[in-house]
Copies of this chain bind each other. A is one copy, B any other.
Amino acid sequence: MIVIDYKDRRPIYEQIIDRVKMLIVKGVYQPDDPLPSVRTLAMELSINPNTIQRAYQELERQGLIYSVKGRGSFVNGTESVIEEHHKKMLADLKEAMAKIVEAGIDKQAVLKLVEACYGSMELKKNEGGASE
C-alpha cells in the first residue's frame, strides 16, 4: 500500500504524507478505518518509527486522520478533504500553465500532453489493477 522511493529527493515523511493522502482521497482508506500502527509501518518500510510518527502527526494536523493514545490512528470524515485536494491540484496546474504560456509554448503541444495523460489512465484501467 504505502511505499517510499529513495530516488525521490523529497523527505521520506513527506512521501508518506502524500501517499496516505492519496489513499484517502481515492477512497481506499474509508472514514474511521485504522491506519497501520506507527511501529508496524516502520518495520514494514524498514525505517525509523519517528519518521512515521512525524508523517501521521502532520496528517492529523491537516485534519485527515485522528490518533488516540493506546488505540491507534484512524481516518477522518473526508468530504471536504477531497474537494480541497482537487482545488490544490488545479492550483498547481495553473501555476505550471502560467510558466508555460510565459515561455510561449504552443497550445497544441499542451493539449496533446493533456490528452496523452488521460489516455494512459484509461489504458491502465483496462489492464486491470492486478499489477504490483
Contact = CB atoms under 8 A, between A and B. Distances in A.
Interface of A: 6-7, 9, 11, 22, 25-26, 61, 66, 68-71, 85-86, 89-90, 92-94, 96-105, 107, 109-111, 113-114, 117-118, 120-121
How many copies the complex holds: the figure is 4
A97 B68 contact: no
Contact of A93 (B7, B113, B120): B113
A109 B90 contact: yes
B6 A68 contact: yes
Contact of A98 (B7, B103, B117): B117
A101 B19 CA distance: 15
Tell me the interface secondary structure of chain A in the complex. Answer: helix
Contacts of A109: 90
A15 to B, nearest CB: 11
A104 B66 contact: no
Given A107-B114, A118-B107, A96 B92 contact: yes
Nearest to A50: B50
A86 B104 CA distance: 9
A97 B114 contact: yes
